[in-house]
Amino acid sequence: MLTFTICISGSFSALTISHTSDDFLEGQASKVTCTASYTCSKHIPTLTWNYGSMPASTDTSNSGTTSWRTVSTLTFTASANDHERPLTCYARFTGGRTQDKSITLQVKRNMLSRGWSFTTPRSITGMRGSCIIIPCTFTYSNSQPADLRVIWYLFQSNGYSPVFDERQNIMSKFNGITSLIGAVGEKNCSLKIERLEMSHNQDRLYPWVDKHPITSYQSLGPTFYEKTSQLIVSDQAQEPQVSIIGIPRVGEESTVSCNVRHTCISAPPTLTISGIPGEDLITDTLVTDGIWERTVERTWAVKEEDQSVKCTVSYTGGQRETKYVRDPYENDTFHDQAADVPFRFSALTGSCVVIPCSIPYKEDEPFTRGIWSKRNNDVIYHNGPTFVVDHFKGRTRLLGELNEGNCSLEIDDIKPFDNGPFCFHAERANMERYRFNNSCVFIVMKASPEKPVMTSVPAEVDAGSTITVSCSVTHTCPSHPPVFSWSVPHLTSEVTHTWTPQGIWETTSTITFTAAGGDGVKNLTCTAVSWLGKQRASTVQMTVKG
C-alpha cells in the first residue's frame, strides 16, 4: 500500500538557536546552529544569517512522515566589537512564510587585545615577617581612560581571587596587608605587601588596570602566566656581606663595611658591627626595582689586639645572622695574572649552576688546592669538607683539572640567597695562597627557567606527513642539562649541547614525527624540565588536513 502526505497548510515551530557556551571568545571560531522545524516537506526553508560573510552549511532531515527539520550551522568568529550585538537567523519557507530568531552576543575579549600592558618582575624574594614591594608600571596603546582603578589578583587556573581591591573583599591571607604605592595617574601600579608569611611563598600575582572587569575577558592562559610575579618567601636570614677596605695596619685607620639586600625600605633590617670601636655611617641604596641594599661602614684606628670584626643582621620577622671576618688578605700572595671568571652569572633557584673559571698555570709549579669562598672568608668549596660552611656542604664541587687551568665550580640546589660574591684562590704545596684579579662572581637569581624556543613548522600539513622540528633552551647547568618531552610520539630524536663564550649552554632537542590524521588545528608542545623539576613549555599550532 502506498502512503501519500498531502500538505494543506502545514505547521511551523519557532526557530531555535543553540551554541555550546553562553559566551563567545574573541578570535576563536565556534559553531552556532539555527533549527527550523515543520510538518510539510514542501516547505523546506532557506536559512541565512545577518553575518553573511561567515561560512555556514545547511542540512535537512526528517524524523517521521510529518516531522521535518532544516539546520544551518554557522562557523562564527567573534571580534571584540561584536559584544552585545545581535546574531540573527532568518528562515524563508517555500510559499513565502518567514521567521527570524536572534540572540545577543556575549563576547569575552582576548587578553592579548586588551589595549594595555604592564611590567613587573618575574619574581621577588622577601623575608617572612618583613614587607615587600612589587614594582609595577603600565601603559595604554591609546589614550589612558580616566578614573582607572587597580586590582591585584592571585593567579589561579580557574576563577579570580583579588589580593588588593578598594571596593570588594579580598583573600583572607592578604586581608589588611596590601596597599598601592605610587599614583595610578602616573602609570604606577606597584603593590606593597606587609608582614609576609610562608603561606605567601610561590604565590603568583598580577595587576588589572582596565575599565572592563576581568570577567569580561577570556581565561588568562599561559601567555598571561608569563607576566605574573612570583613571591619567594624565605625564613632564612640572608648572610650579611662583610669586608675590610684596604689592608689594616696597626696605627693606621681602616674601614669595615657590612651590607645586606632587602625588600622593605619602610622597615629595613638592622646591621650591627661589633669587635672594633667607631661611629657608623648607614646608607640605603636602591639596587633595582623593589630591591634595596643597606650598608654600614665603620672606620677605626687599628690596634694590635684587633683580631676580628662581627656583623649581625636582624630582620623584623626575628631572623638573625652573624658573620665574622679577619683580615682576609694578610697571608695572600698576589698573582700577576687574571682569572677568567664572569662578573655576573645567572642561576635558576632549585637547580644547579656551573660557574666557568680558568686560570693561568705552570706545569712545573702545580697548584695543590683550589678554594672558593666569600669575601668574608666563608669557604663554600674546599677539598676538605670540614672547611666548608654548613650552608654549602654537599652542594659544591670543582669541575675539571685545576692543573690544566680549569677552576669551574658547580653549586647544586641553588638557594634564593646564594648570590655571592664568590671568589676563587689557590694554594701550592708550600701553603702559599694565590689570589687572582677578576676572580669573583655575583649570582643573579631566577625563579623560572628560560622559555624554550621552537623552530617554525608549516602552517598547514597533510595527514601522514613527516615533519622535523627543534626545541632549544638556554641554561647554566651543563652537568644536569634540561630534559625534553614532546606532546607527539616521534620517529627519531636527537639532543645536542652547545657552549657559548659567555658560559651559557644551549640544549636542543630535534625530533621527526608523523602528523596524525584528522582535520583541524593541532597543538605541538615542547616541554623543557630543568634539574630538580622546574619546567617551561612552548606550543605552536598547525592545521592538519585529511
Q: How many domains does the chain have?
A: 5
Where b means 16+ CB within 10 Å and e means fewer, 19-35 reads beeeebbbeeeeebbbb
Closest CA to 341 of 325, 354, 327, 356: 356
Looking up cell 625564613 gives: 235
Contact indicator for 153, 160 with CB cutoff of 8 Å: yes
Domain edge (last residue) among 304, 323, 342: 323
Domain edge (last residue) among 446, 461, 494: 446
In a domain, 101, yes or no: yes
| CA gap 176, 298 in Å, rounded | 39
- Give pLDDT < 70 ranges for the chain: 1-10, 65, 110-114, 216-224, 246-250, 304-307, 326-337, 430-432, 501-502, 519, 546
Where b means 16+ CB within 10 Å and e means fewer, 121-135 reads bebbbbbbbbbbbbb
Domain that holds residue 524: 453-545
Same-domain check for residues 150 and 99: no
Residues 6+ apart with CB under 8 A from 213: none
In a domain, 1, yes or no: no
Q: Which CATH number does the domain housing residue 148 bear?
A: 2.60.40.10
pLDDT of residue 101: 93
54-99, pLDDT tens digit by residue?
999 999 988 776 788 999 999 998 887 888 899 999 999 887 889 9
Domain edge (last residue) among 303, 323, 343: 323
Residue 429 amino acid letter: A
Residues 6+ apart with CB under 8 A from 529: 482, 483, 484, 485, 535
Would you state the cell numbers that stand for residue 18, as one nine-digit string? 543553540
| CA gap 257, 415 in Å, rounded | 24
In a domain, 406, yes or no: yes
pLDDT of residue 56: 92
Would you state the cell numbers that stand for residue 504, as one nine-digit string? 651559557
Structure pTM? 0.49
pLDDT of residue 199: 93
| CA gap 132, 197 in Å, rounded | 11
